[in-house]
Amino acid sequence: MAAEDTPLLRPATHADVPVVAAIWEPGWAEAHAGRVPDALVAARPSEYFLHCTADRVADTAVAEIDGRVVGFVMVADDAVDHIFVHPGERGGGVAAALLTHAENRIAAAGHDRAWLAVVPGNDRAQAFYRRQGWRDEGVFDHAAKGPDGPIPTPCHRFVKPLR
């Protein structure tokens, strides 16, 4: 990513919902395929990403380059809930900028530490978080949202002190 391609980070709007969902759905499938329970995959049809994005606009920041949304991050309390970047923009600093934004937002809300969940086998994500100063605390059962309640999903819990 060239200097002129430095992403602009801003709060998401309802107009961003379709493009955020379009980045999220294939990114989620790539990161989770064969790594999560079948029940969780079944609970993530295309409509899920669109509806969830619409419901989470207030929790979402987007990254723009040349007026195009190329990535997003969702924050929930002290957690970096979701972060995805369009494949064509990976490796250029967009994810790092989004993660820093999320860390700052969590710290501004008064939390001393942030956390996030990464499924086992998603080595690319785990390496990225380590490079950003996050530490793997080990595997836990993440309560992923399902249509009839939480779906226990093995994940690595990554943490980062913020103060």
**pLDDT band at residue 91, thresholds of 50, 70 and 90?**
confident
% of the chain residues with pLDDT over 90: 91
Q: What's the rounded Cα separation, in Å, for the pair 59 and 42?
A: 24
pLDDT digits (tens, 9 = 90+) for 125-155: 999 999 999 999 999 999 999 999 999 999 9
Question: What's the pLDDT score for residue 88?
Answer: 84
Question: What's the pLDDT score for residue 13?
Answer: 98
Averaged over 57-81, what is the pLDDT?
97
Mean per-residue pLDDT over the chain, rounded: 95
User: Which tokens is 91 given?
Assistant: 């490796």
Q: What's the rounded Cα separation, in Å, for the pair 41 and 35?
A: 10
CATH 3.40.630.30 corresponds to the domain 3-161: yes
Question: What's the pLDDT score for residue 2?
Answer: 44
Asked if 143 contacts 36 with a C-beta cutoff of 8 angstroms, the reply is no
User: Which tokens is 97 given?
Assistant: 């900028």
